[in-house]
């Protein structure tokens, strides 16, 4: 049930951008118990000035290839989140040539009642996932 938002600069080549949603999804499928087909990703390319990123915050070197991955899902233990961060960074590097320093990941946690997949219903309240 994750919802993923990926933000990049519009200068990132479209061929590389196209690799991002599947790489993040595959990382989640590897690390998290999410069902096949649970793929909801919003990919946004920002013009100069629409996304402001410090190039050296926390001692990390960020470039024009910067990728912000925001994931909303249920609570997971810290160890699982750390594995997910590493897997996402690894797959983005393998598939899209994004350096791990250029990958920022932010997780927002919510609960089952916070999702409606359509029809104005909270499907996970009516039918909780395993």
Active-site residue set: 2
Contact by Cβ (8 Å): 115, 124: yes
């Amino acid at each position: 049930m994750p919802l993923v938002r990926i933000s990049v600069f519009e200068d990132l080549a479209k061929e590389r951008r196209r690799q991002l949603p599947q790489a993040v999804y595959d990382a989640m499928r590897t690390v998290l118990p999410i069902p096949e087909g649970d793929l909801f990703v919003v990919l946004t390319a920002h013009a100069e000035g629409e996304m402001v990123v410090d190039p050296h915050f926390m001692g990390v070197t960020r470039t024009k290839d910067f990728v912000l991955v925001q994931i909303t899902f249920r609570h997971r233990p810290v160890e699982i989140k750390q594995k997910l961060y590493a897997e996402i960074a690894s797959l983005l590097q393998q598939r899209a040539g994004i350096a791990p320093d250029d990958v920022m990941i932010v997780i927002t946690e919510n609960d089952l009642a916070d999702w409606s997949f359509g029809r104005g219903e909270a499907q996970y309240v009516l039918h909780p996932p395993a």
